Amino acid sequence: MRVAFLGKGGAGKTTTAAGFIKYAATRHPFVLAVDADVNAHLKSALNAEGEAKQLGLHFDEITSYLRGQRTDLGERPIIGTTPPSLKSNFITAKPDSPFIEKYGLKHGNITLITVGTYQEEDVGGSCYHEKLKSLAGIFHHMLDTDDDIVIADTTAGTDNVATSLSFAYDLNIFVVEPTEKSVKVFTDYVEIAGNIANKTYIIGNKIDGDEDSEFIQQTVGKDRYLGSIPLSQNLKKFEQGELDALTCFHNEQFGAFARLYDLLRSQKRDWNSYLDRLRKTYKWDCERWYSDFYGVNLQEGLDEEFTYDAVLSKWAKQKTLAGV
């Protein structure tokens, strides 16, 4: 199941996502971490080393992989929201997935994939949604099960609702500081997010005493509030070079993660609603912009028979036959 960390700029999304990734990795054999922020800081927050490939730079290569053996599209291009066909290539959220192995950066039992940032040629003429469409294509072809854990750090604010990534996550976690502005980013999101708001919860961050957590809960309610992370001196010490202080900070953070972990593990994805939403978004994308842009009707010929359940049951049968 997939969870995204959202919130106001500087609220602590990356710090909290990295903490939860590490926490989940202590309880689960494998975690797929996703850096979906233009300011890609998740790698350093995880203390991971090595080069992280930028998915945003490999859109053509990625879509050519996802296309697999499908013939329904003919020569027509794949965009970020193109629904799969039964003959597409799919991706698992497992460490031995060829796709994850190729694009991910391994760090213990965590693998990080990174959307990446702007290049010089993007200056003055590009928007981050152009980069995020690689991740959208990946998620819409990812057959992760309720036994998989995928955790994403995202861009600041409510921007997430404007792309198909808004429905790609099973849970959204708002990281909220005890300030009016921070709480308002959450209430603004709930106002526009429609039924996605039903799967959105809150973690209080930089909490200095009960009054701070009560301040947030007064507005957001108690049911959605999963836990508090203290305003930590240890994190500052770590950022000033005291490496041991990170373990102390994790101990402070981890107390807030048990409820979130259980909630994530209890999610079940409704693949049919997911596909329905994806098809509507694709239709909208084609009508609004992409068919004109490419000069072809991108909706023509699309495999309408496809369902995620059909691929999943095909995979299950193959596993049974192979005795796995």
Ligand X SMILES: Nc1ncnc2c1ncn2[C@@H]1O[C@H](COP(=O)(O)OP(=O)(O)OP(=O)(O)O)[C@@H](O)[C@H]1O
Return the residues of window 14-43 that contact Mg ion according to CB under 5 A.
14
Backbone phi, then psi, for 175, in 5-degree steps?
-90, 120
Contact between 11 and ligand X by CB under 6 A: the answer reads yes
Choose, by CB under 6 A, the member of 2, 12, 83, 286 that binds ligand X: 12
- The least CB distance from residue 250 to ligand X, in Å, is 11
Contact between 134 and Mg ion by CB under 5 A: the answer reads no
Return the residues of window 53-92 that contact ligand X according to CB under 6 A.
none
Count the residues of the shown chain that bind ligand X, applying the rule CB under 6 A. 18
- The least CB distance from residue 154 to Mg ion, in Å, is 8
- The least CB distance from residue 238 to ligand X, in Å, is 8
Question: 49 Cβ partners below 8 Å, 6+ apart?
Answer: 107
Choose, by CB under 6 A, the member of 9, 108, 209, 301 that binds ligand X: 9
Return the residues of window 232-291 that contact ligand X according to CB under 6 A.
232, 235, 239
3-state secondary structure (DSSP) of residue 213: helix
Pick one of ligand X, Mg ion, none as the site partner of residue 131 (Cβ within 5 to 8 A by kind).
Answer: none
Choose, by CB under 6 A, the member of 2, 22, 206, 250 that binds ligand X: 206
The CA distance from 56 to 231, in Å, is: 34
Q: How many Cβ atoms sit within 10 Å of the Cβ of residue 8?
A: 22
> Looking at 7-15, 44-52, 80-88, 299-307, which segment touches Mg ion (CB under 5 A)?
7-15
Q: b/e string for 221-252 if b means 16 or more Cβ within 10 A?
A: eeebbbbbbbbbebbebbeeeeeebbebbbeb
> Looking at 13-21, 97-105, 177-185, 233-241, which segment touches Mg ion (CB under 5 A)?
13-21
> Looking at 5-13, 107-115, 213-221, 283-291, which segment touches Mg ion (CB under 5 A)?
5-13
The CA distance from 232 to 204, in Å, is: 13
Contact between 13 and ligand X by CB under 6 A: the answer reads yes
Backbone phi, then psi, for 219, in 5-degree steps?
-90, -40
Q: How many Cβ atoms sit within 10 Å of the Cβ of residue 322?
A: 7
Choose, by CB under 6 A, the member of 97, 182, 205, 217 that binds ligand X: 205
Pick one of ligand X, Mg ion, none as the site partner of residue 275 (Cβ within 5 to 8 A by kind).
Answer: none
3-state secondary structure (DSSP) of residue 219: helix
Walk across the sheet containing 171-176 and list its strands: 105-107, 110-114, 31-36, 150-154, 2-7, 171-176, 200-207, 225-230
- Rounded to the nearest 10 degrees, what angle do helices 128-140 and 59-67 cross at? 20
The CA distance from 117 to 99, in Å, is: 20
Q: Footprint of ligand X on this chain (CB under 6 A)?
A: 7, 9-15, 37, 39, 156, 205-206, 229, 231-232, 235, 239
Q: Footprint of Mg ion on this chain (CB under 5 A)?
A: 13-14
